[in-house]
Amino acid sequence: MATDKHIVLVPMIMWGHTRPMCTFAARIVKLRPAMLVTMFVSEGFYERAKAEIALEFQSGQEHLQSRITLIRLTRATSPWDSATYEADFLDTWANFSSGQPLCGYEANGNPRQVDPSERDRFAAAVIDIFAIGAFDTFRKIKETTGLKVYSWFPAALTCMFKWFGTDIIPTVREYASRTGVSFDVAAHEVLVVPKGELVDSPCLPKMYDYEYHPQAAFTSVEFTGHTVVHVNRVLRETDGLVTIDAADYITPRTSEAVRTWFGERPVYFAGPLVSPVRASPDAFAKPEAASIKRFLDDRMASHGAKSVMLISFGSMFWPTNAAKVGAVLNVLMEKNVPFILSRPTSAAQIPEDVTTKLAECENVYIANWVPQQLVLSHPATGWCLTHAGLNSTFECIFASVPMITWPIDADQPPNVINLTDELKVAYELLEGRDGYGLGMIHRTGVTPRGTISAVEDELRDVLVRAFGADGLAKRARLHELKAKLQKAWEVGGPAREGVETLLDGM
Ligand SMILES: *[C@@H]1O[C@H](CO)[C@@H](O)[C@H](O)[C@H]1NC(C)=O
Ligand SMILES: *[C@@H]1O[C@H](CO)[C@@H](O)[C@H](O)[C@H]1NC(C)=O
Ligand SMILES: *[C@@H]1O[C@H](CO)[C@@H](O)[C@H](O)[C@H]1NC(C)=O
């Protein structure tokens, strides 16, 4: 029956993976109000997920919100604990398969159970590429019920080939048996640890392997062995790809390369999946948000429009070299640039002498949680120093705030090349690299000096350009890019058309 198709969504535990999936879930029921969505979410992000979904609805649309059911996975204790999260999903699903209902809440907060009889009626599942066990579970169900199993690609698509383009498991097995190390260690050695080799990917300039890890290794050995090396198989077996990347963000060369790789199977560009920020009266109502707004209003008065820098490395990343973080913060204070620093945990290191200076500086605001979109949309905010995860990148673009980038790992380094070289809407702090990430940059032939004084010199130079004519030109280009990307979800836009095709084909 075409009317009440039921779809399952399984993100990986990370907020950066879950956040856009919340927006995706909301847009599904907005486009097709008769559909039902059951989405899994880590307990730690449940409240945030509900809030993110709510951003998509106006009052009077509660009936649509109730089409989405959130099932909480409670066992993992940190966003790094993807193994427990996945085991929790598998147990929960096994219980569901053996006749227990799935207990959760509608996105508007009402309790809701999914009846076990639904199990064989699901039209489709959209599964995070990293949720390998969940993917395999739904592939089995597919054998009897015929549901479609799609993969969710929560990152910049340009990095697909380097990380997941080839099946390296035979190489890993061979390496493990030759050297006597475990499979996980072998996987890490083969895929992550740089050898100084040039990587040629169909959608990026040639890069040395270490350029993908500008902060030296960040991915854990277990995650590489349990998860990352299996994604290639998932991509070979999936019925199609849904990516948070945007058709008009990547160049035709990349989308062609990706479509060619998938052959007959569809690739849908669902991005940008960023909800509109509504400057509603209660947006800044939480005490923390209210004091951030006061800080921004005050800097607006003292320093003027577009004077403040937001500094954020997302919810999971931070530069490896604390002295370099200190150097950057020192230069900002020296140059009288006001900033808001998002420091998600105390594990995010800042040298002690700098911490003392920060506490004394009235142009500095530090918080472990920052309402990023609200800050970006405030007129006092002019720049964002960011790790350049795709989520943050799209938020900066939508707020017309250009970027100073300090990529850490994952898809960030490739994403930054585009932001700086192709789209020319950002700078990169090359001297912020660390460890083997400090090797020569292939496309420029430059080797960062990597010292603290080099970090300071580079940032001083970037600030002069950012707050001068070059910065204005970047802002203008960003504005054009924003206008283009905003059309993605309008009628006839590539994301909306793609997702409609996906939903109708289930
Ligand atoms: C992604 O976006 C949300 C707002 O929509 C923001 O609060 C969050 O910090 C961002 N997450 C990451 C991982 O950057
Ligand atoms: C599965 O069901 C068993 C028996 O009712 C229960 O003890 C267990 O906690 C359930 N597991 C999950 C993850 O809900
Ligand atoms: C990034 O640049 C490469 C070419 O160097 C291009 O193929 C790719 O599509 C670009 N992506 C973006 C986001 O501009």
* Cβ of 312 less than 6 Å from ligand 1: no
What do you get for the CA distance between the two ends of the chain, in Å? 11
pLDDT at 136 over 80: yes
What are 414-472's pLDDT values in tens digits?
999 999 999 999 999 999 999 999 999 999 999 999 999 999 999 999 999 999 999 99
Annotated domain spans of the chain: 160-228
374-386 burial, b at 16+ Cβ within 10 Å, e below that, comes to: bbbbbebbbbbbb
pLDDT of res. 124: 97
* Cβ of 249 less than 6 Å from ligand 3: yes
CA–centroid distance, 293 to ligand 1, in Å, is 18
Cβ-based neighbours of 463, under 8 Å, separated by 6 or more: 331, 332, 335, 337
pLDDT at 158 over 80: yes
pLDDT of res. 3: 55
Q: Between these two residues, 89 and 159, which has the higher pLDDT value?
A: 89
What are 390-410's pLDDT values in tens digits?
889 999 999 999 999 999 998
316 — pLDDT class (breaks 50, 70, 90)? confident
The dihedral through the CA atoms of 54, 56, 61, 65 has a sign that is negative
* Cβ of 20 less than 6 Å from ligand 1: no
Probe ligand 1: pick from 315, 317, 369, 384, max atoms within 8 Å of CB?
Answer: 315
Q: Whose CA is nearest to atom 13 of ligand 2?
A: 92
Mean pLDDT of 134-153: 96
pLDDT at 288 over 90: no
Residue whose token pair is 């219980």: 95
pLDDT at 281 over 60: no
- Minimum-distance ligand to the CA of 414? 3
Say which DSSP state 278 is in: P
Q: Count CB neighbours of 182 within 10 A.
A: 12
Probe ligand 2: pick from 74, 86, 91, max atoms within 8 Å of CB?
Answer: 91
Cβ-based neighbours of 437, under 8 Å, separated by 6 or more: 210, 211, 213, 214, 215, 216
pLDDT of res. 1: 41
pLDDT at 2 over 70: no
Task: Find, among 71, 75, 77, the residue nearest to 40 by Cα.
Answer: 71
Q: Count CB neighbours of 263 within 10 A.
A: 6
Atom of ligand 1 nearest to the CA of 314: 14
Mean pLDDT of the chain: 93
* Cβ of 393 less than 6 Å from ligand 1: no
Label residue 127 left, alpha or beta by phi (over 0 means left) and psi (-120 to 50 means alpha): beta
pLDDT at 220 over 90: no
What are 359-400's pLDDT values in tens digits?
999 999 999 889 888 999 999 999 999 999 988 999 999 999
Q: Whose CA is nearest to atom 1 of ligand 1?
A: 391
What are 18-32's pLDDT values in tens digits?
999 999 999 999 999
Burial grade of 87 (CB within 10 A; 0-12, 13-18, 19 or more): middle
3-state secondary structure 122-150: CCEEEEECCCHHHHHHHHHHHHHHCCEEE
- pTM summary value: 0.90
3-state secondary structure 325-340: HHHHHHHHHHCCCCEE
Mean pLDDT of 243-267: 91
Q: Whose CA is nearest to atom 5 of ligand 2?
A: 95
Residue whose token pair is 């990352």: 228
pLDDT at 491 over 60: yes
Probe ligand 2: pick from 40, 86, 95, max atoms within 8 Å of CB?
Answer: 95
CA–centroid distance, 17 to ligand 1, in Å, is 10
pLDDT of res. 13: 95
* Cβ of 377 less than 6 Å from ligand 1: no
CA–centroid distance, 147 to ligand 2, in Å, is 25
279 — pLDDT class (breaks 50, 70, 90)? low
Atom of ligand 1 nearest to the CA of 371: 7
pLDDT at 285 over 90: no
